[in-house]
Structure formats: C-alpha cells, structure tokens
A and B are shown apart, each in its own frame.
Chain A
Amino acid sequence: MKLLAIVLKELRQLRRDTRSLVMIAMIPLIVMLLFGIGYSRESGRVGIGIVNLDDKPISWIFIDSIKKVQTLEIKAYGKSIEEGRRMVEEGNVYAVIIVPSGFTEGLLKGSSVQVLVIVDESITTISSVIRSAMFAVTYKFQEEIARNNKSEFIELIYNSVYGPKVTNLESFTPLVIGIVLQLVPTTLISIAICKEKERGTFEQLIMSPVSRFDIIFGKLIAFFITTLVDMFATLGIAVLLFNVNIKGQMLDAIMVSTVFLLGSLGLGMLISVLSRNQLQANQAAIFIFIPALLFSGALVPIDMLSPSARIIADFTPMYYFISAFRNIMLKGLSLWELSQQLSALTIYATLMMLTALIVLRLRVD
C-alpha cells in the first residue's frame, strides 16, 4: 500500500513535469524519425574521379563498368595524375582512378597492366567502400577477359545466410533502440532521489514510516510504466513506419528490450542514490552512456577491436542487448538460444536495483 502510494505520487509528478514529458515523448520519436528518414534509403554514392590516360576502347569499357557500380558515382574527369591527386586533396572526390596509357594495348598483347587508385583514407568506411567496389569491378572485368580468351579463372559465388540483403536501416535498428532504451530511462530516473534531496522533500519523506524498499521500488515501478511507453513507441515506429522486419518472435524482442530497460532504470536509480544533485546525476548518466555506446559492438564489431575491448564489452549491458536483439531480428533466433545474453542482462538489472537499495540511507547529511 505504501509502495502503491509512492507509485501514484511519482506518476502524478511525472504527468506535471514538462521536462520529463518532453524527454519521454519527444526523444524516442525524434531519434527514431531522424534515423528512419536518414538511414532508410541508400542513395549513398561515393564520388570519384577518373583520369583516362589511355583513351582507347578497352579502357572505356572498363570505365563503363565502374559507372555501373551502385556505390560509386563518377563526378569528374581529369587529364593528368597531378590533376587527379589535386581533386582528392581538395576533397572534390574521395578517390581518383587512373588508367595508364597503354592499358588497351597491354591487355590485347596479353600482358599485365596496372590501374592506380588514389584514395582519401580519412574516412575508413568510405575508403573501404571504394576498395571493395574497385576490387569487384576489376574481378568482374578480368573474369570477362578470361572468358573471352577461353582461359581458366576462379569464380566466386556468394551465398548469403540471413540474407538476401540486410538494409542499412535494419542493421542499425538494434543500436538505435539500444540508445533510446539506455539513455532515456537512465537520465529520466537519475534525478528521482537526488531531486528530493535537493528540494528538501526527502527529509519529510523519511520522517514517515516508509522503507527503503518502498522508496526504491515505488519509484522504479512508476518510471518503468512510463518508459515502457517509450519502448513500445520505438519498436512500433521501427516495425510499422519503417517496415523493419523482425524475423524472430516479436514477443522475444519485447522481452529482451524489457529486461534491458529494467537494467537502465536500475543504473539510473543507483546514480540517483549516489548523486548529490540533479546536475551531477544527469552528467553521470551521460558519462556512462559513452563507453556503453563505444563498446556496444554496433559501431565497430567487438571482434575487430583489441582484446581488451572484449573485456570491456563483457561488462557492457548494451553489448548484450544489441547482440540479442540483432539475433532475434535478423537471424530469427529465439530467447532460448540467447540465454547467455538474457541472463547477463537479468543479472545486471538485479544487481543495479539491489545496490541502489543497499546504498540508500534514510538520513540527511
């Protein structure tokens, strides 16, 4: 009954708090909409330049096949290597492909030829797109020549698992849901206790026969009810508005999101118990979010980072959430097959809440 009194009181206060309402309603909506609009269509073509010093039929056929690559767009033509290099340096294009003179002649004679690619390496995603596109074009071109010459070649056949193709939107959905489910609940609840201390209401509260359990869990329940709205909003926008396909059970996706949400609330509650004021609490919530994002495995797969990153990731709840959610969404796995992630998230949520409960002192200092 006392627990219920606190739940009701918190919900009443949340309803009247514009700042919290904006955070609850607007942040997930804005983040999801921006994400959906920005990531849904992959027009993302990388601009390149061409310098054709050969200017003979086969080199133009080669350049035509570059034109057909979906990820590249020829933006400029140059006349010399120097001009090509300048185009990259000035940032007009991300790469310049230089076909040397004697390209056609060499191929007709059956000798090897070279194509120079000058790449801007400052953005690794873009340079790797260029590399793989150029690799594919060259491979295809060589295959064509080998076929015509009736000589032997190795043909690569790709056969995708979890395909046919995962869109950009789908591959980033787990991360965006993870961000919303960590940032919003943690920041929102992080002021729950320290606001009462700052305003002096804590003093009156603890003069009533209320227990630590009532305070912590009363507030947790109220914020859980509120942020559950966020969870369904984010999932709903992804599935209904942007047609993100969840291959596994929707219920499993909801389950794992709920457990992660509880963990975020537990973390926020612990921050609140330990903070002196609201400012400190907000800063802590954001500070903790940064490593969570870095080691979530969604920006760069953890396997591609150093071994110590692996250790940090093992203690990053967002890593488990994204891994579990990705597996449900893209691979269609069930929760039973994700027991490791699910139990890690459950332990995390329980640990946070219990620590907050133990650390809370019914005293003023």
Chain B
Amino acid sequence: MEYAIEVHGLTKKFGNFKAVDNLNLKVKRGEIFGLLGPNGAGKTTTIRMICGLMNQTEGSIKVYGYKIPEERKEAIKIIGYMAQRFSLYEDLTVYENMEFFGRLYGINGINLRERIIELLNFLELNEFKDRLAGKLSGGMRQRLALGVALLHKPKLLILDEPTAGVDPPIRRAFWGYLRGLNKEDVTILITTHYMDEAENCDRIGLMNRGRLIAIGSPRELKRMAFGGDLVEIKVQGRIDELKDFRILEKKVDGENCSLKILLSDASLELPKLLKYMDGAGLKILCAETINVTLEEVFIRMVMES
C-alpha cells in the first residue's frame, strides 16, 4: 500500500455528458501531483469524486487504502481540502473560522488554540486573526483556506485551483508553503490551469475533455511530446547531415548554420554530439537546450490525442 490515491476506470456522467471518462491514476505517497488542463477538462469533478463530495458513475477510488465513497468517513480525517471557490464563512473572523473547523475535527481547548496560532504564524496571518474573512484580500483568503485545510494535520492535501485569480508573486509564495509541507511528508494533489505553475509538481497528469492524456514528471512529459530533448547548436560552416542525430530544423545565416536537433536525453547525448561535431571540424559557436514550456507540450499532446 504505497499509494496515497488509486483510481481505476473512474467515470462521471451528467446525463449523456461524460465529465470524466475512464480515468486511471495513481498518486504516490509524499509526492506533489498536479492535474493540469483547461477549464472544463474534468479536474474539479475528479477531485470531488476523490473527496467523496460527489458519487462516481463508475470506477473505484481508494485514498490511503480507504474506499470512496464507502469509507469516506475515515478518509476525510486524513484529507485536507481546499475548494476552488473560497468556501469559508465570510461573516466569521479568521480565528473564528479556524476555531469552528478545528472543533469539527475534534480538536478542543488549549490544543486547538495552540494549533491555530502555529498555523497563523506559519501562514503569516497572525495580525489579521480578528478580521472578518469576507474582508480579506485574495491572497489572504487563500492562506486562510490552506490553514483550515491543515488544522488536523492531514497526510493528503487536495487543492482545487488554489491559485486561480491570485497575483504571480503571491502564487509563488503559496508554492513556498506547499513545498514546505511536502518536506514534512504531506502528499499533495493539486489542480491548476496555470501551465507554468505545474513545473513545481513532481508529476503531472494532463487532462482534456474528461480524459487523462498523459502522466509523468514535467521533463518526461516534454520528452514524450517531442520524442526527446531539443537542443539548438550554432556552428560555423556548412552541414547537411549528422550520422547519428536527427536534424529537425536548419537555418543558414551567411557562413553560420543554426540547427535544431532532437536528442532522446540531452544530459547524456549532448556531450557526445558536441564531440562528434568537433571531430568533424565544425566550429561550435553556441549550444543550448531549448526550454519547452508545458503549454507547448499540452497543445502537442491534445493535437495528438
């Protein structure tokens, strides 16, 4: 039982519409797993089914070994959840919100007070503890929601688009908290439609139209999409063919020649390539790996699928 989440053949139908279609997914304990996809891809529906907030039409879900929805009662004790929409009480203060949810988790008295203060300090919310949640800024709301999700020290944190509509610096800071938690062995399942943000994940599942079209680390996904790593090399002189390497693109600029070459693993093959070129008498002006964005990967994968 090494998985935090195991999902098999998960399907959710709304009438004739399949919001989630035969989804298979395994999230390892201790990793940060991101579900990436455009709005309407089925990310929220998937997350809601994993949390038992919605019953699946077909398929099985296990969270830390607990079957969902049958053993939901046990499962939610180890899940910390942050919904897409701000879903705390706007007419209660920061402290009152945390106190209320803390009591629902069965934490009381001095333990509760200490836990809340600990979290308020961690999330830098202490000076706002008596402010009504409705009067908080977007970033502060997001931190408060994270605080509530962490009250009972969950093993698994499930976050549904936590950074939607938040400024980039605040998003970066939020990821700082998440990495901190992850170091303390909290497994994190997060959805986002910000492709740049997904680079922070250990592994990513790409979702489109209810289907999971690819799973892997950001680097693996990039290789998958293009069949390897792209490198760009500028040389002096003419070159038409390379023995062991595939040239994707060639631009001639006077005496110089700019090449885009596909390598299955740049870290191993780039030195070999350079050595070979050197041996062939080409003068290398510059060599760099092309940083493919996940967005490009996503578009390519969607087109292929």
A204, B48: Cβ atoms under 8 Å?
A: no
- Which of these, B54, B73, B81, B108, contacts A204 with CB under 8 Å? B81
- Which of these, A2, A13, A200, A207, contacts B106 with CB under 8 Å? A2
Question: Which B residues are CB-close (under 8 A) to A205?
Answer: 104
Question: Which A residues are CB-close (under 8 A) to B89?
Answer: 9, 13, 201
Question: Which B residues are CB-close (under 8 A) to A209?
Answer: 73, 76-77, 104-106
Q: How far is the CB of B46 from chain A (nearest CB, A)?
A: 14
Question: Which B residues are CB-close (under 8 A) to A5?
Answer: 100, 103-104
B100, A363: Cβ atoms under 8 Å?
A: no
Known A2-B103, A9-B92, A209-B106; contact A200-B76, beta-carbon cutoff 8 A: no
Question: Which B residues are CB-close (under 8 A) to A16?
Answer: 91
How far does the alpha carbon of A203 sit from the alpha carbon of B103 in the complex, in Å? 17
How far does the alpha carbon of A207 sit from the alpha carbon of B156 in the complex, in Å? 13
Q: How far is the CB of B68 from chain A (nearest CB, A)?
A: 12
Number of inter-chain CB pairs below 8 Å: 69
B104, A2: Cβ atoms under 8 Å?
A: yes
Q: How far is the CB of A204 from chain B (nearest CB, A)?
A: 4
Q: How many residues of B contact A (CB 8 A)?
A: 29
Who on chain B is nearest to A204 by CB? Answer: B87
B77, A200: Cβ atoms under 8 Å?
A: no
Name B's interface SS.
loop
Known A12-B96, A209-B77; contact A199-B54, beta-carbon cutoff 8 A: no
Question: Which B residues are CB-close (under 8 A) to A69?
Answer: none
* Residue interface bits B74-103, CB-to-A below 8 A is 1, else 0: 001101010101111111100010001101
A203, B87: Cβ atoms under 8 Å?
A: yes
Question: Which A residues are CB-close (under 8 A) to B53?
Answer: 203, 206-207, 363-364
How far does the alpha carbon of A210 sit from the alpha carbon of B77 in the complex, in Å? 10
Q: How far is the CB of A180 from chain B (nearest CB, A)?
A: 26
Cβ of B57 within 8 Å of any chain A Cβ, yes or no, is no
Question: Which A residues are CB-close (under 8 A) to B92?
Answer: 9, 12-13
Question: Which B residues are CB-close (under 8 A) to A13?
Answer: 89, 91-92
Who on chain A is nearest to B51 by CB? Answer: A207
* Residues 94 to 131 of chain B near chain A (Cβ within 8 Å): 96, 100-101, 103-106, 108
How far does the alpha carbon of A4 sit from the alpha carbon of B51 in the complex, in Å? 26
How far does the alpha carbon of A339 sit from the alpha carbon of B89 in the complex, in Å? 43
A208, B76: Cβ atoms under 8 Å?
A: yes
Classify chain A's interface size: 20 to 34
* Residue interface bits A1-29, CB-to-B below 8 A is 1, else 0: 11011001100110011000000000000
Cβ of B39 within 8 Å of any chain A Cβ, yes or no, is no
Known A5-B100, A364-B54; contact A204-B88, beta-carbon cutoff 8 A: yes
Cβ of B148 within 8 Å of any chain A Cβ, yes or no, is yes
* Residues 158 to 210 of chain A near chain B (Cβ within 8 Å): 199-210
B100, A9: Cβ atoms under 8 Å?
A: yes
A207, B79: Cβ atoms under 8 Å?
A: yes
Question: Which B residues are CB-close (under 8 A) to A202?
Answer: 87
Question: Which A residues are CB-close (under 8 A) to B55?
Answer: 363
Who on chain A is nearest to B72 by CB? Answer: A362
A200, B86: Cβ atoms under 8 Å?
A: yes
Cβ of A82 within 8 Å of any chain B Cβ, yes or no, is no
Question: Which B residues are CB-close (under 8 A) to A9?
Answer: 89, 92, 96, 100
A364, B48: Cβ atoms under 8 Å?
A: yes
B103, A204: Cβ atoms under 8 Å?
A: no
* Residue interface bits B28-55, CB-to-A below 8 A is 1, else 0: 0000000000000000000010010111
B101, A208: Cβ atoms under 8 Å?
A: yes
Who on chain B is nearest to A5 by CB? Answer: B103
How far does the alpha carbon of A334 sit from the alpha carbon of B287 in the complex, in Å? 99
Cβ of A155 within 8 Å of any chain B Cβ, yes or no, is no
Q: How far is the CB of B118 from chain A (nearest CB, A)?
A: 19
Question: Which A residues are CB-close (under 8 A) to B86?
Answer: 200
A210, B48: Cβ atoms under 8 Å?
A: no
Q: How far is the CB of A268 from chain B (nearest CB, A)?
A: 20
Question: Which A residues are CB-close (under 8 A) to B103?
Answer: 1-2, 4-5
B91, A17: Cβ atoms under 8 Å?
A: yes
Who on chain B is nearest to A2 by CB? Answer: B104
A208, B105: Cβ atoms under 8 Å?
A: yes
- Which of these, B79, B81, B87, B96, contacts A201 with CB under 8 Å? B87
Q: How far is the CB of B167 from chain A (nearest CB, A)?
A: 22
- Which of these, B51, B87, B148, contacts A200 with CB under 8 Å? B87
Q: How far is the CB of A188 from chain B (nearest CB, A)?
A: 16
Q: How far is the CB of A194 from chain B (nearest CB, A)?
A: 15
Who on chain B is nearest to A207 by CB? Answer: B81
Known A1-B106, A2-B104, A210-B104; contact A201-B48, beta-carbon cutoff 8 A: no
Q: How far is the CB of A9 from chain B (nearest CB, A)?
A: 5
How far does the alpha carbon of A129 sit from the alpha carbon of B104 in the complex, in Å? 63
* Residue interface bits B18-31, CB-to-A below 8 A is 1, else 0: 00000000000000
Q: How far is the CB of B206 from chain A (nearest CB, A)?
A: 25
How far does the alpha carbon of A9 sit from the alpha carbon of B99 in the complex, in Å? 10
Cβ of A365 within 8 Å of any chain B Cβ, yes or no, is yes
How far does the alpha carbon of A209 sit from the alpha carbon of B66 in the complex, in Å? 15
* Residue interface bits A28-55, CB-to-B below 8 A is 1, else 0: 0000000000000000000000000000
Given pairs A9-B89, A200-B85, A201-B87, 7 additional interface contacts (CB within 8 A): A1-B106, A17-B91, A200-B86, A202-B87, A204-B88, A208-B104, A363-B54
A–B pairs, 16, beta carbons within 8 Å = A1-B108, A5-B104, A12-B92, A12-B96, A13-B92, A200-B87, A201-B88, A202-B87, A204-B81, A204-B88, A207-B51, A209-B73, A209-B76, A209-B105, A363-B55, A364-B48
Binding site for A on B (CB under 8 A): 48, 51, 53-55, 73, 76-77, 79, 81, 83, 85-92, 96, 100-101, 103-106, 108, 145, 148
